[in-house]
Amino acid sequence: MVRIVIIGWYGTETIGDRAILAGIISIIANIYMDFEIKLGSLYPTLSERTILEDYIFLCTSGSKKNISISIFNSSKVAELDSAIKWSDILVMGGGPFMDSIVELYMIDYAFKRAKKKNKKTAILGCGISSLWHSKLIKPALSVISNSDITIFRDNKSLTTYNKFIKKDIFQCVASIDPAIFAADIFNKRHFKAGEKSKIISVNFREILDDTYIGVSTSQMFPILSHLLIRLSEQESTREIHLIPMHTFGIGGDDRYLLNKLSNAIKKKNIHVQNNPLSLEETMKIYSDSFFCIGMRFHSILLQTVLNGKNYIVDYTNPKSGKIVNLLHQLNASGIYKSRYYSLLQPGEQIFDISNDIVCYSVPEFQINSFRKIYLDKLNELHI
């Protein structure tokens, strides 16, 4: 029995974070026959809810009828120490290396503690950008230095890391965000009817802090409103569902912006999904939709893999941000050129919506090649 502790930004998890966890569990299940998981959460009550909602799909991801997943409070030193002592492997499970300073110091502490206890450590599918706040650089590099294996979610993260280190001392590699494996599992198990539903699924997000992004919610609101009005009028026979990827107040509840847009526009065929959906329910809506529009990174990833008839609204850097990096990884930059809009280049014309857009399909061999990187690196731990 292999005992695995997973920490990160859990407790503030989005649907994307939940997909990351499912993807990581699928990788773990490919390596270890029997395993138990303790999930470190910053807000355990919230994680208990999401695990309960996603439990059946998490078991599916792990190819098991039941998976042992317990939750502890990773912000409490005693509980974190106890979990590390119990573990065989400590994992940072996805997410960015540029978030709250307090939480990043918690992860740094955990990895240092694990190494002192001779535990195996792994970073699986995390992103590292320019680390815009100087106080984040030292703890982020410390975490990586105390990790036995590090798999970044894209080549840009690996390149950024190497600029800080000058050479790849710790043999870091790049693959892709683990959420893609959850979408792949869903595709293989979900029956796809020949006829798509009449629903158009749309995800937008608020920008809570524009100090490093360069665009604020007030700036993008008229652009998103215009897009929805045009979409509503052009697709008047279809229902437009505004789908949140995040429904916790901490981290920015998407429903705040989605309801604000809906109330301002007042179109009868625009509806907000106010009742929170599970990971599997969200993926089913994206998969079955006539087409999709996404803004959050993981809405774009899931819509691309699950549906393929999707448009992208990018709030990150249009030259080096995580969304364009994802398109490069999937060799899909060309096909999405006409259905991509950058909020950082507001002078450009927003994409023309067409019912005849090509349905993009991520090749299975490509997903398998990304998966193999995870499997090969985890096998190096020799548990």
Span 9-23, pLDDT tens digits: 899 999 999 999 999
Low-confidence winner among 231-240, 327-336, 338-347 (lowest mean pLDDT): 338-347
pLDDT at 193 over 90: no
Q: What is the pLDDT of residue 372?
A: 98
Q: Please report the sign of the dihedral spanned by the C-alpha atoms of residue 62, residue 64, residue 68, residue 73.
A: positive
Give me the helices (H) in the chain, please: 15-31, 44-61, 77-86, 101-116, 134-145, 155-165, 179-189, 217-234, 254-265, 279-288, 297-306, 322-329, 364-379
pLDDT at 196 over 70: no
Q: Give the Cα separation of 148 and 224 in Å (integer).
A: 44
The string of pLDDT tens digits covering residues 365-379 is: 999 999 999 999 999
Residues in Cβ contact with 194 at an 8 Å cutoff, skipping those fewer than 6 apart: none
| Percent residues over pLDDT 90 in the chain | 74
Residue 294: its H or E element: strand 291-294
Phi, psi (rounded to 5 degrees) for 74: -75, -10
The string of pLDDT tens digits covering residues 87-96 is: 999 999 988 8
- Of 193, 135, 145, give the one whose Cα is nearest residue 171: 145
The string of pLDDT tens digits covering residues 242-296 is: 999 999 988 889 999 999 999 999 999 999 999 999 999 999 999 999 999 999 9
Query: What pTM did the predictor assign?
Result: 0.95
Q: Which residue has the tokens 């899931």?
A: 302
Phi, psi (rounded to 5 degrees) for 69: -125, 115
- Domains contained in the chain, CATH given: 2-185+366-379 (3.40.50.2000), 193-362 (3.40.50.2000)
- Of 143 and 211, the structure prediction assigns the larger pLDDT to 143
**Contact (CB, 8 A) for 247 and 276:** yes
Residue 87 buriedness (CB in 10 A; 0-12 / 13-18 / 19+): buried
The string of pLDDT tens digits covering residues 54-67 is: 999 999 999 888 99
- Of 262, 263, 270, 242, give the one whose Cα is nearest residue 254: 242
Q: What is the pLDDT of residue 195?
A: 62
Residue 301: other Cβ atoms inside 10 A:
25
How far from the centroid of its chain's Cα atoms is residue 76's Cα?
25
Give me the chain's average pLDDT, please.
Answer: 91
Helices and strands (H, E) in the chain, number of each type? 13, 13
Token representation of residue 333 = 């930059």
